[in-house]
Amino acid sequence: MNTTTTTETELSSVNSILMAIGQAPITRIFNEENGNLVYVNPEVAIAHSILMEVNVDVQNEGWVWNTEQHYPLVPDSDGCIYIPNNVLRMDRWNNGDVRTTNVVRRGNKLYDKLNHTYIFDTDKALLYDIVWLWEYETLPSVFKRYITLRASGRAATQMVTNPSLVQLLATQEQQARAACMEYECNQADVSYFGTPDGSVYRPFQPYHGLRR
């Protein structure tokens, strides 16, 4: 028997939010009217908006599955470096040339504050540590569950104002976040020594003392 790991979709998450605040589930988020997509009703619009807001908030924290280190950003033929649309946060990789440059984000391009220009050497890529924003349905299932419960708590606060319900959802949210932290620790393979990706660290083993 085949088992799918895609247990959460935007529709199922919106339904979870609606049911958490005592609303009936829906079969679709949008209706098509005159070639345009419109929300089924105002409650659905609010629930979906909250879900997408929380999705951005959670991904903006930077997790092992949406963070890349030493990502190269290459100038185009005009020397400009355009930033991808789904970049949430970015930080210049801390190598030697960082001390001789001061590059920041301005709009959708990188700007060199030291030389006061948007133009960079076309033969040299800049390396960045980047936090990406991914589509909701591509996220690990444990994070989608956390986002759903966190959005449910926010919806209960904004749409129902039921303190008891908010407290119950907060407890479920804390449990879901703990599961996310377990996933993060298992996948990240983090080290107390801060060993960067792509490097090798060989710790001491007792038999090393016997090698002459």
Answer with the residue of higher pLDDT: 161 or 149.
149
Average pLDDT over residues 32-55: 94
Distance of alpha carbon 83 from the chain centroid: 17
In this predicted structure, the answer to whether residue 98 has a pLDDT above a threshold of 60 is no
Is 141 part of a structural domain of the chain? yes
pLDDT at 92: 85
200 by Cβ neighbours in 10 Å (0-12 / 13-18 / 19+) ranks as: exposed
pLDDT level of residue 101 (50, 70, 90 thresholds):
confident
Residues 37 and 141 in one domain: yes
Which secondary-structure segment (H or E) carries 183?
A: helix 163-188
14: its two tokens: 């919106």
Rounded to whole angstroms, the Cα distance separating 14 from 37 reads 17
Q: Residues 107-137: pLDDT tens digits?
A: 999 999 988 999 998 888 889 999 999 999 9
Q: Residues 162-177: pLDDT tens digits?
A: 889 999 999 999 999 9
Which residues have a Cβ under 8 Å from the Cβ of 197 and sit 6 or more positions away? 69, 70
Q: What domain range is 144 assigned to?
A: 10-62+136-188
pLDDT at 124: 85
Residues 14 and 44 in one domain: yes
pLDDT at 177: 97
Is 202 part of a structural domain of the chain? no
Answer with the residue of higher pLDDT: 108 or 193.
108
Residues 23 and 38 in one domain: yes
142: its two tokens: 């444990």
Structural domains counted in the chain:
2
Is 73 part of a structural domain of the chain? yes
Is 205 part of a structural domain of the chain? no
In this predicted structure, the answer to whether residue 200 has a pLDDT above a threshold of 70 is no
3-state class percentages of the chain: helix first, strand second, coil last, to nearest 5: 40, 20, 40
* The overall pTM is greater than 0.75: yes
